[in-house]
Structures are given as structure tokens and as C-alpha cells.
Amino acid sequence: MSTNKKVFTFRLQEENFKKIKYIADKNKRSTAMQIEYLLEKYIEEYEETNGSIPIEHKRE
């Protein structure tokens, strides 16, 4: 399956990882999808307070 998601290494403290995994399990999500969800929510909150974040659309 093709995806446009960026792949990168992400390090977390073990305790934070375990807590996010716990939340993900409760929400029936993978840990990666839970992290993505949390980031999306944070970005939405940031943009509500600070305005839209401009993104240049370049092909990589």
C-alpha cells in the first residue's frame, strides 16, 4: 500500500512511550497512530491561537 507519510526515527523516554501505548490501546489505535493523532490535535490548538502555519508544497 502506498502512503505519503514521512518516515523518521523518533525517540521517547520509556515511561512516556508506555503511557502513550496505554492510551493507544484504550482508543484501539496503534502507538504510531496515537502519536500522530496527538500531534494533529496540538497543531490544531497551536493554529487556533497563533494562526495558520504556512507550508510550502515541494516534491521531495
pLDDT at 42: 97
Residues 6+ apart with CB under 8 A from 43: 53
pLDDT tens for 22-52 read: 999 999 999 999 999 999 999 999 999 999 9
- Given a contact cutoff of 8 angstroms between Cβ atoms, the answer to whether 21 and 32 are in contact is no
- pLDDT at residue 15 tops 80: yes
Reported as a pLDDT band with limits 50, 70 and 90, residue 4 is confident
Task: Spell out the alpha helix ranges (H) of the chain.
Answer: 14-26, 31-50
Task: Determine the Cα–Cα distance for residues 21 and 28; give it in Å rounded to an integer.
Answer: 10
CA-closest candidate to residue 34, choices 44, 43, 25, 47: 25
Predicted confidence at residue 60, as pLDDT, reads 55
